Amino acid sequence: MEINKLEMISFRNHKKTKIKFNPGLTIIWGENGSGKTSILEAIHSLSYGKSFRTNNKTDLIKKGDKNFFIKGFFKNKNNSKNSVTLSQDTSGLKKITINKKPITKRKELLGLNNVVVFSPEEEEITKGSPINRRNYFDKIFSICSYSYLNELLSYNKILKQRNSLLRTEKNTIKKQKEIEIWNKPLIQKGFSLWSKRKAMMNEFISFFIKTVNRFDKNLKLDIKYDLKSQNEEEYNIKLIEKTDSDIKKKHTSFGPHRDDVFFFWDQKQIKNHGSQGEHKLFLALLKITEQLFLSQKTQKTPIFLIDDMFANLDKERSKKLLRFVEAFKNKEKKTQTIITTTNIVNIKENGFFLEFSEVNKHHLQINGTT
């Protein structure tokens, strides 16, 4: 997968920016606030139809403007090309086109041009609440498998209906009866989502363990994911047990939408014990795993977007990580990589990425133009 060109109009601080990317490595450097992460955010949005930083409908539109427009030109490994545009106005109305044809559902875009983002903005995956980890894995698994995505969407639809029933003002006995009717389809969809999630997660975890071992045999990192019930009967019992409290709280408190995935560093949960650098290294190894996992599952090598390369890592870890990225890139053959940094000297001094005879370098000025 490659992005060859990006155009941005009124996106974040970019009034009008055009960038060409190298098929190998592109380095974007500039001061804090010059608009580096915004470039990666635009590429991600063209891949996924959504930012990785915000869900707010106006955040992406340049202050004072009424809409933004971004366009990317992509190329697949068999040289087939596509262009994607995304625009949005202040009311939140989003328009996406693929090869100039408008699409109506974001899911039509999923899997067309894949990217993996490694950014400090994503640190919530290891530091934040369960929803961050659920969303992270749901996104990867949905890109790999339409059936996973459909399973997720249909579970969410039934869950939404059950929750809106829990919110109505009917008397409790009537509610209890109606809730019971909803339990059956909820369990069916929920269990089927659980089984798929468990299977995908097991595969991902074995990729992760291999990646960690290749990086450093002495590191003891692990990921654990357990189903909260082993069969549909058990699921049903839990739902019935929780009916009264669900009615009180007005939402469904049991099911795959409450899953968590646990990350361990030396048998301790990184969420509660990890240092900044350990969090960053764990995230980096997750991201490398994501890259390998998506490559194998989709038969397309995602574009690797590395934001703020050296933040929170000591020099030795940075070097080791970069060498590792280089090594796996060589193994995986062509992975297009786009790196942002505030410090180009750091990359040069350490002699990173020397195997690339051609590197595109873009120096961003503070107003976001290159």
Ligand X SMILES: Nc1ncnc2c1ncn2[C@@H]1O[C@H](COP(=O)(O)OP(=O)(O)OP(=O)(O)O)[C@@H](O)[C@H]1O
**Least separation in angstroms between CB 56 and Mg ion:** 18
Query: Residue 317 corresponds to which tokens in the numbers above?
Result: 């870890």
User: Contact region for ligand X (CB under 6 A) — 16-24, 61-69, 86-94, 104-112?
Assistant: 61-69
**Least separation in angstroms between CB 61 and ligand X:** 6
Task: Assess 193 for contact with ligand X (CB under 6 A).
Answer: no
Cα gap 76→3, rounded to integer Å: 9
Near ligand X in 126-185, by CB under 6 A: none
The nearer residue to Mg ion, 113 or 340, going by C-beta atoms, is 340
Contacts 24+ apart (CB under 8 A), 210-219: 211/285, 211/288, 211/289, 211/292, 212/285, 214/324, 214/328, 215/285, 215/288, 215/320, 215/324, 216/320
Near ligand X in 307-326, by CB under 6 A: 308
- What distance separates the 2 farthest-apart alpha carbons in the chain? 73
Which residues are CB-neighbours of 173 under 8 A, at least 6 positions away?
none
The nearer residue to ligand X, 32 or 272, going by C-beta atoms, is 32
Q: Is 15 within 8 Å of 369 (Cβ atoms)? A: yes
CB atoms inside a 10 Å sphere around CB 361 = 13
Task: Assess 257 for contact with ligand X (CB under 6 A).
Answer: no
The nearer residue to ligand X, 12 or 329, going by C-beta atoms, is 12
The nearer residue to ligand X, 10 or 229, going by C-beta atoms, is 10
- Considering only residues 1, 3, 12, 211, which one is a binding residue for ligand X as defined by CB under 6 A? 12
342 binds, among Mg ion, ligand X, none (CB under 5 to 8 A by kind): ligand X
The nearer residue to ligand X, 13 or 145, going by C-beta atoms, is 13
The nearer residue to Mg ion, 121 or 232, going by C-beta atoms, is 121
For 115, list phi and psi in degrees, rounded to 5: -135, 155
Task: Assess 37 for contact with ligand X (CB under 6 A).
Answer: yes
Near Mg ion in 12-71, by CB under 5 A: 37
Residue ranges of E strands in the chain: 2-11, 14-20, 25-30, 67-75, 81-89, 94-98, 101-103, 115-118, 221-224, 262-265, 268-269, 303-306, 337-341, 359-364
Helix pair 172-215, 146-167: axis angle to 10 deg: 150
Task: Assess 42 for contact with ligand X (CB under 6 A).
Answer: no
Task: Assess 280 for contact with ligand X (CB under 6 A).
Answer: no
Q: Is 247 within 8 Å of 223 (Cβ atoms)? A: no
**Least separation in angstroms between CB 307 and Mg ion:** 6
Near Mg ion in 220-279, by CB under 5 A: none
| Torsion sign, CA atoms 77, 82, 83, 86 | negative
| Torsion sign, CA atoms 234, 238, 239, 243 | positive
User: Contact region for ligand X (CB under 6 A) — 55-63, 224-232, 283-291, 297-305?
Assistant: 55-63
61 binds, among ligand X, Mg ion, none (CB under 5 to 8 A by kind): ligand X
* Tokens 């894949």 found at: 114
The nearer residue to Mg ion, 37 or 183, going by C-beta atoms, is 37
Near ligand X in 16-35, by CB under 6 A: 30, 32-35
**Least separation in angstroms between CB 36 and Mg ion:** 5
Task: Assess 197 for contact with ligand X (CB under 6 A).
Answer: no
34 binds, among ligand X, Mg ion, none (CB under 5 to 8 A by kind): ligand X
The nearer residue to ligand X, 27 or 112, going by C-beta atoms, is 27
Give the interface with Mg ion as residue ranges (CB under 5 A).
Answer: 37
Give the interface with ligand X as residue ranges (CB under 6 A).
Answer: 12-13, 30, 32-38, 59, 61-63, 308, 342
